Amino acid sequence: MSIAISEQDTDILLSTKNILDEPVLDKYQLAGKVTQTTLQYITSLINSCYHDSKKDDNQLFSISQLCFLADLFMNQLLDKDFKAKTLEKGIAFPCSIDIDEIANGWSPELDDTTVMQEKNKDRDEETLSNGIKSSLKNFLSVGDLVKITLGCHVDGYTSQITHTLCVYPTEVSPVTGLNQASGPLLGSKADAAAVAHIAKEVVSNLLASAATPEKLPESLKKINPNNEAKVTGHLIRKVVDHLIESYNCALVPGSKIRRIRRFLAGQNEGVVAEREFKGCVWYEFNQETILLNKSEQYAKDLNSNEQSKALTLLQNSENNHENKQKSAFIYDSAIATDNFTVLPGEVYLIDLRVVSLSETPELGLVSVETLSEFSGTTSTGRNMTVRNSQFIRDFTQIKDLKLRASKECLTKMDKQSVYPVKLTYLSDEYQQLIKSPIELDLQSINYTEEQSIIMKENLRSRMGMKEIMDNYLATSKPVQIVKYIPWELIVNLSNPEGVKSTDAINPTLPGFEIPLPKLNISSLKLKTLFKNSRTITLPVAREACTVAITDDLTYKLTHSEPIYLQSKYELNPNSELTQGIYQLVELAKDSRFGIKIRNVKPLSEKSIRIGIPDMTD
């Protein structure tokens, strides 16, 4: 069987449908509203049981419960809106709640936690890192940096939000008599969360200025080649790197600022190599480049003949990575480069994952490790075994399945859209729940009966999913944690297999098979270092939002307020770049002559109840 989308259809699907006209913008706005409302909902859920009152564990909402409730709420909202029209709409990013070092993908099914506890019962509690411990317990604990990721789409127009929260210790306020946080978030976690928020805001301002690039401050224009007044990939990268560096932080590989299109919101990265990719992506080799530049500088400063080992390596290695990347770009626009200009009429996703380096003992590389689903493999090392809950359909694969359960599962999956699904979404009981009215009173939420039915239905789906996965018709989204590997370990690593060995489990785009090309370290080698005792985990802060740029106004589809924290770092006011950033922020505040930005607000409580989208701002 052949699948081919004709040229005309391709043109319609990829270009015509992505023109940011009034109806499309409405859909984007609605998606943004629903996403924000759901974030509010889940935040209030967390506040109600973790902040507002002291409750024992039985009354708390567990992480899997929170994920379930958030998904349900979002689906119910979407079901109410646009009821008359039959559009593809639904969850684009299943609600995931990642704690501390977990970077993404923690959205357990209702029954997953017991299974994972069973799988990991042999592991020593002491060796587990904080985030994993909390996640395994299935409850948040005080001091956890909690990242909530959500997203929905209306007719394929997607909005995503990731917000970093913190579970504070509470005390009764003498003024209001209510519980309040006993103090701001401090330390490395605060640095990361602060800079993530700042970077997100600055980048969204920068993107917004794409409509009126002539207003860009001079110091920012200078970064562009030929001092052009445009918002380019180079500019964005420079600004972000500068901000992150000023807070002594680092970006986690996989952070990105990218253009999104209808049905293409980065939901199936790793499965699909998307054509005409536009955006900045941070990889491991960016950190390598920074390190090597530094060492070069250091060598120059020393003005001695003795050169660092890294520099020797640099000279010996064939510097063909750039060439490879260039040639790949010619043939395949799926590879991200900074050679792009942000244009009005495009929608961008800002997704930044930041770790603070202030508590690290030595210089090192920030990398992500994928947690294995199988116990007993050597690669897991001291980490836990997980069970992935999000599945992405790979539509290019065709295969006739044998089991009835898997056939049913696949049919249901295909009926869902192209976004990741959890098994819960496939359950009939859940689909019925969506039709039921929204429970707005947080105290009276009780879906025990329905949940037990859903768990039963999930068993059958899971059996079907097994065959689907075995035939590569779908892949699961991994749970990843952030690891910090000292450079010393990397540099001293012997690499007898050479750079040609690649990791088949985690496929990469052509040109990116080797994470550290200049040091000639293959991904398999890097993997072995994750087990080393000097490798540590770092808590991550993550902020994401969607920005739609039109000619006269920029819509911030998803917006979140910063949390209560205090960081000891601040931007260096003497730097030219910092001055430029300050000017940019001033411009964004100036509603008359500056950059025009509008925050899309969440749905009002009234419109949630009535179920009519509130399109007036």
State in angstroms the smallest separation of the CB of 156 from other proteins.
Answer: 6
332 lies in the binding site for other proteins (CB under 8 A): yes
State in angstroms the smallest separation of the CB of 408 from other proteins.
Answer: 6
Binding track, positions 385-414, relative to other proteins; x by CB under 8 A:
----------xx-x-x---x--xx--x--x
Residue with smaller CB distance to other proteins, 392 or 434: 392
State in angstroms the smallest separation of the CB of 411 from other proteins.
Answer: 5
State in angstroms the smallest separation of the CB of 597 from other proteins.
Answer: 28
483 lies in the binding site for other proteins (CB under 8 A): no
Provide CB contacts within 8 A for 85, sequence distance 6+.
Answer: none
3 lies in the binding site for other proteins (CB under 8 A): yes
Provide CB contacts within 8 A for 256, sequence distance 6+.
Answer: 266, 279, 280, 281, 282, 336, 349, 351
Listed ranges 108-116, 143-151, 257-265, 471-479: which one lies at the site for other proteins (CB under 8 A): 257-265
State in angstroms the smallest separation of the CB of 525 from other proteins.
Answer: 26
Residue with smaller CB distance to other proteins, 79 or 408: 408
Listed ranges 274-282, 467-475, 531-539, 594-602: which one lies at the site for other proteins (CB under 8 A): 274-282
Residue with smaller CB distance to other proteins, 267 or 372: 267
259 lies in the binding site for other proteins (CB under 8 A): no
Beta bridge partners of 158: 153
| CA pair distance 33, 37, nearest whole angstrom | 6
Query: Could you give phi then psi for residue 171, rounded to 5 degrees?
Result: -145, 160
Listed ranges 58-66, 98-106, 256-264, 558-566: which one lies at the site for other proteins (CB under 8 A): 256-264
418 lies in the binding site for other proteins (CB under 8 A): yes
14 lies in the binding site for other proteins (CB under 8 A): yes
Residue with smaller CB distance to other proteins, 96 or 417: 417
Instruction: Report whether 385 contacts 371 (CB < 8 A).
Output: yes
How many residues of this chain interact with other proteins, rule: CB under 8 A?
36
The encoded tokens of residue 602 equal 């969440």
Binding track, positions 56-95, relative to other proteins; x by CB under 8 A:
--------------------------------x-------
The encoded tokens of residue 68 equal 């379930």
2 lies in the binding site for other proteins (CB under 8 A): yes
Residue with smaller CB distance to other proteins, 5 or 612: 5
Binding track, positions 448-467, relative to other proteins; x by CB under 8 A:
--------------------
| CA pair distance 229, 154, nearest whole angstrom | 34
Pick from 20, 60, 272, 524: which binds other proteins (CB under 8 A)? Answer: 272
State in angstroms the smallest separation of the CB of 87 from other proteins.
Answer: 10
Q: How many residues does the chain have?
A: 617
| CA pair distance 449, 385, nearest whole angstrom | 29
| CA pair distance 62, 344, nearest whole angstrom | 42
Pick from 55, 83, 275, 456: which binds other proteins (CB under 8 A)? Answer: 275
Q: What is the DSSP string of 545-597?
A: EEEEE-SS-EEESS-----SB--S----TTSHHHHHHHHHHHHHH-TTTS--E
Q: What is the DSSP string of 66-95?
A: HHHHHHHHHHHHHHHTT-SS---EEEEEEE
262 lies in the binding site for other proteins (CB under 8 A): yes
- One-letter amino acid at 484 equals Y
State in angstroms the smallest separation of the CB of 175 from other proteins.
Answer: 51
State in angstroms the smallest separation of the CB of 188 from other proteins.
Answer: 39
State the DSSP code for 120. T
Q: What is the DSSP string of 19-59?
A: ---HHHHHHHHHHHHHHHHHHHHHHHHHIIIIISS---TTT
| CA pair distance 400, 398, nearest whole angstrom | 7
Provide CB contacts within 8 A for 116, sequence distance 6+.
Answer: 108, 136, 384, 385, 386, 387
The angle subtended at Cα 450 by Cα 447 and Cα 452, nearest 5°, is 105
Residue with smaller CB distance to other proteins, 37 or 268: 268
Looking only at residues 88 through 127 of this chain, which bind other proteins when binding is defined by CB under 8 A? 88
Instruction: Report whether 391 contacts 476 (CB < 8 A).
Output: yes
Residue with smaller CB distance to other proteins, 214 or 400: 400
Pick from 229, 299, 313, 334: which binds other proteins (CB under 8 A)? Answer: 334
4 lies in the binding site for other proteins (CB under 8 A): yes
Instruction: Report whether 130 contacts 101 (CB < 8 A).
Output: yes
| CA pair distance 7, 474, nearest whole angstrom | 26
428 lies in the binding site for other proteins (CB under 8 A): no
State in angstroms the smallest separation of the CB of 423 from other proteins.
Answer: 17
Residue with smaller CB distance to other proteins, 11 or 590: 11
| CA pair distance 254, 259, nearest whole angstrom | 15
Handedness of CA 239, 243, 244, 245 (dihedral sign): positive
Helix axes 233-246, 576-589, angle to 10 degrees: 110
Taking residue 114's Cβ as centre, other Cβ atoms within 10 Å add up to 12
State in angstroms the smallest separation of the CB of 430 from other proteins.
Answer: 17
Residue with smaller CB distance to other proteins, 82 or 395: 395
- One-letter amino acid at 354 equals V
Half-sphere exposure of 199 (CA within 13 A, CB side): 34
Instruction: Report whether 230 contacts 201 (CB < 8 A).
Output: no
- One-letter amino acid at 297 equals Q
Residue with smaller CB distance to other proteins, 260 or 371: 260
301 lies in the binding site for other proteins (CB under 8 A): no
The encoded tokens of residue 234 equal 């180079």
Pick from 1, 84, 330, 504: which binds other proteins (CB under 8 A)? Answer: 1
| CA pair distance 216, 198, nearest whole angstrom | 18
Residue with smaller CB distance to other proteins, 2 or 59: 2
13 lies in the binding site for other proteins (CB under 8 A): yes
Residue with smaller CB distance to other proteins, 331 or 593: 331
Binding track, positions 154-183, relative to other proteins; x by CB under 8 A:
--x---------------------------
Site residues, other proteins (CB under 8 A): 1-5, 9-10, 13-14, 17, 88, 156, 261-264, 268, 272-276, 332-334, 395-396, 398, 400, 404, 407-408, 411, 414, 417-418
